[in-house]
């Protein structure tokens, strides 16, 4: 979970938008560099997101690129502000992978999060003891202090549920049955899921084993929808790290998620299922 140098997702988005505008106007990196009176290599780093561009430079470039429509200018300048804006999560940036910081930033801006979890229970619904047991199992040699910081970040992320974000979760039965931290922890985790389901902005559905083959046999994923200027994003996490996809690929995963929801039990039956499982495991 250590830090590595990388471009942030928001810096990459802004850079891609500026590159598209430059190319649409038939301008080269050299043209943009001469206009801003900067090195050509710096313009390239702006466009790849390796070095976040300042708002003043964005204003100059969108003038150069002939962006006159007020809404488009607002979107670009808003994103330029987001690139440099600090959040509570930045204090963890030296202790966790940068892709996780991207995820926390996305969650903080989300209006809707859809999560399909085969295992474990989605992180936004985990209790502290469950999260601690997961992290220790994945990295048994991690220092105690590091584990505590990682768990603290995970718990802090859950504060978004106190706001207006809509959390929609499809939990595979496997996520509920695989014991993490022992029976006491699992019982507490199941009770927490039932409590979370009482929130008006949380929808939980169970995908039982009896469904058999389903729409996502190759793993879980998240969908994150934000207000303009941000696109819909799908997040897929695996042993090799995190992957963020947009556009057609995100829409493909959104369609997959819809099929998973259709196959899952409805919210009332899901609560009944989880309640019965809790009694079974008690």
Q: What's the pLDDT tens digit per position in 153-199?
A: 999 999 999 999 999 999 999 999 999 999 999 999 999 999 999 99
* Residue ranges of the chain assigned to CATH 3.30.870: 88-281
**Confidence class for position 17, pLDDT limits 50, 70, 90:** confident
Sheet order of strands, 241-245 included:
202-207, 166-172, 110-117, 221-226, 233-238, 241-245
CATH code at 9-84: 1.10.260.40
* Residue ranges of the chain assigned to CATH 1.10.260.40: 9-84
Residue with tokens 């502290």: 128
Question: What φ, ψ does residue 234 adopt, rounded to 5°?
Answer: -110, 140
Mean predicted lDDT score pLDDT of the chain = 88
pLDDT in tens, 76-109: 888 888 777 666 666 666 666 666 778 888 898 8
182: left (phi over 0), alpha (psi -120 to 50) or beta: left
pTM value surpassing 0.95: no
CATH code at 88-281: 3.30.870
């Amino acid at each position: 979970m250590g830090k590595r140098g990388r471009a942030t997702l928001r810096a990459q988005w802004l850079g891609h938008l500026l590159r598209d505008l430059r190319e649409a106007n038939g301008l080269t990196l050299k043209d943009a560099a001469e206009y801003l009176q900067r090195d050509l290599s710096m313009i390239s780093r702006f466009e790849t997101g390796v070095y976040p561009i300042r708002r003043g430079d964005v204003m100059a470039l969108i003038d150069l690129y002939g962006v006159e429509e007020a809404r488009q200018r607002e979107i670009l300048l808003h994103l330029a502000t987001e690139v440099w804006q600090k959040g509570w999560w930045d204090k963890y940036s030296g202790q966790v992978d940068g892709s996780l910081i991207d995820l926390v930033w996305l969650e903080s801006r989300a209006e809707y999060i859809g999560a399909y979890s085969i295992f474990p229970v989605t992180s936004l619904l985990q209790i502290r003891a469950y999260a601690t047991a997961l992290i220790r199992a994945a990295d048994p040699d991690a220092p105690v202090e590091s584990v505590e910081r990682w768990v603290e970040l995970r718990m802090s992320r859950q504060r978004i549920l106190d706001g207006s974000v809509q959390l929609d979760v499809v939990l595979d039965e496997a996520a509920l049955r695989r014991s993490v931290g022992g029976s006491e922890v699992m019982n507490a985790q199941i009770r927490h899921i039932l409590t979370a389901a009482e929130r008006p902005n949380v929808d939980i559905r169970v995908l039982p084993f009896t469904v058999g083959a389903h729409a996502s046999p190759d793993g879980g994923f998240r969908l994150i929808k934000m207000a303009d200027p941000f696109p819909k994003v799908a997040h897929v996490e695996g042993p090799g790290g995190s992957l963020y996809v947009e556009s057609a690929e995100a829409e493909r995963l959104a369609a997959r998620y819809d099929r998973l929801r259709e196959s899952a039990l409805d919210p009332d039956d899901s609560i009944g299922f989880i309640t019965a499982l809790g009694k079974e495991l008690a």
